[in-house]
Amino acid sequence: MSNERNGTPEQTIFFIGALIFSAAGGILLLVFDFGGWNGSNYYLGVYIWGGIGAWNSIYGIPIAISGFLLLYCAAISVLVLWFPEKIPDKKLVQFGFYAAALVFTLSLIGGIIFAVDMEIEDVWWWFDAGFYGGIIGSAFTAVLYFLGLRNLEL
């Protein structure tokens, strides 16, 4: 197949996509809540609601780490796109692939733990933008890094 289309190498498109998805996912994880709940009872006059995010409590540490790992992936994509001579070998890009896979795993496990805990508490709950940013951003970043690594020439 052709490695170039309209003068743009195929790997460049993969790393542009990885940059977009990893930056968006990292920002969503760091800025917005991972999930929220509402345990209010109108008839009893009890109003309880909350959310968990990167900066809420000790439970937010894995969320913050995941957000920073996705921003690390975005930095790797910037290096590959604009400063390819600064990258010593493919291992740096492979670390980005593994970081994106780790974020996907952490987000999936965190989402399962959050959902199970909220079901046990019997409250109305939801996943928020941080969860979806972590899952979608890391999944697309990992796939695009995998495709980009196949064609990467350093």
Q: Are 9 and 27 in contact (CB under 8 A)?
A: no
**pTM of the entire structure?**
0.86
H-type alpha helices, the chain: 10-31, 61-82, 91-121, 129-151
Bridge partner residues of 37 (DSSP): 50, 125
pLDDT score recorded for residue 40:
81
Q: What is the DSSP string of 72-95?
A: HHHHHHHHHHH-GGG--STHHHHH
- Whose tokens are 């690390």? That residue is 72
Phi and psi dihedrals of 20, rounded to 5?
A: -65, -50
Query: From first to last of its 154 residues, what are the pLDDT tens digits of the chain?
Result: 444 444 457 778 899 999 999 999 999 999 999 999 998 877 888 888 889 999 988 889 999 999 999 999 999 999 888 887 777 678 888 999 999 999 999 999 999 999 999 999 888 999 999 999 999 999 999 999 999 888 776 6
DSSP 41: B
Q: Are 59 and 52 in contact (CB under 8 A)?
A: yes
Q: How far apart are CA 130 and CA 143, in angstroms?
A: 20
pLDDT score recorded for residue 59:
85
